[in-house]
Structure 1
């Protein structure tokens, strides 16, 4: 009888822990993210594609962990990396373009980007060893993005269109 009561006690404890764990997992919500995507850059098949995230301003002493992706024209992820960005230490990602269709860079940021003084997202595409003739798209990363500028949605991702910086020769 004591063994049966002990077994029932253990079963109740395991059931309570499973219920508590399930409620805790359900209560956790992924943090809101900001997603930036460049315009598609066309070229030739087997081009070299490099996406970079860097802080080009005076350092604020912070580190920002971001996810950088290279996407095909259809939105297929060709390459992805998650890592820190600080002044002097950019995050770069290389890929080979499968076709001549446009390739885009996509950046996922946490909601508070104040760690970057002047963050930018750059996408470069060229054939062989020659540097690209056209200047690459350079997107300004917003310093803070806490709400969806289009009215708010229940999804945890905010989409922002790139505001491009002119490059001077």
Structure 2
């Protein structure tokens, strides 16, 4: 009887230590994830919307895996894809706009943006299959991850075409 209690006590102690090690590993600080969102682009219902992520610079020889979304005016996800972006091989996603209200492109970028030389996010809304009337919003993917692309703070920022928000996963 004493032997089974001793073995059970060791088993419980081992279980508690394993749990504590797991919680300690989970509490490690992970690098921030960048969420970039373009300004809304309005048009006509059923317009074709195309979002693209591409590297327009000289190749750094790396690949960056990102998640690209097209969002409706109410924030609903119309389309989503996760895939690699390299120099010369963009990631594209298309959907039809549900209404004339503005749609946005959203990009979730992991912390290893050094793989891209000059990464950009572009959103185009094509009315009736023709060329867009206005130039599409263009968002620069920042290479330095600890500050925002416009100047030094870790707070969410908005430029003319994009908003940037750093989140901890």
Global fold match (TM > 0.5): yes
CA contact (8 A) 2:123 2:138 kept: yes
Residue 161 (structure 1) aligns with: 159
Q: CA RMSD in A?
A: 2.4
Residue 137 (structure 2) aligns with: 137
CA contact (8 A) 1:140 1:162 kept: no
Q: Residue 113 of structure 2 aligns to a residue in which SS? A: coil
Q: How far did 1:162 drift?
A: 5.4
CA contact (8 A) 1:34 1:160 kept: no
Structure 1 spans left out of the alignment, 5+ residues? 165-169
Greater CA drift, 50-59 or 124-133: 124-133
Q: Residue 130 of structure 2 aligns to a residue in which SS? A: coil
Mapped to 1, the partners of 2:79 and 2:29 lie a distance apart of 26
Count of matched residue positions in the alignment of Structure 1 and Structure 2? 159
Residue 152 (structure 1) aligns with: 154
Mapped to 2, the partners of 1:21 and 1:111 lie a distance apart of 23
Q: How far did 1:48 drift?
A: 1.6
Q: Residue 114 of structure 1 aligns to a residue in which SS? A: helix
CA contact (8 A) 1:48 1:97 kept: yes
Q: Residue 89 of structure 2 aligns to a residue in which SS? A: coil
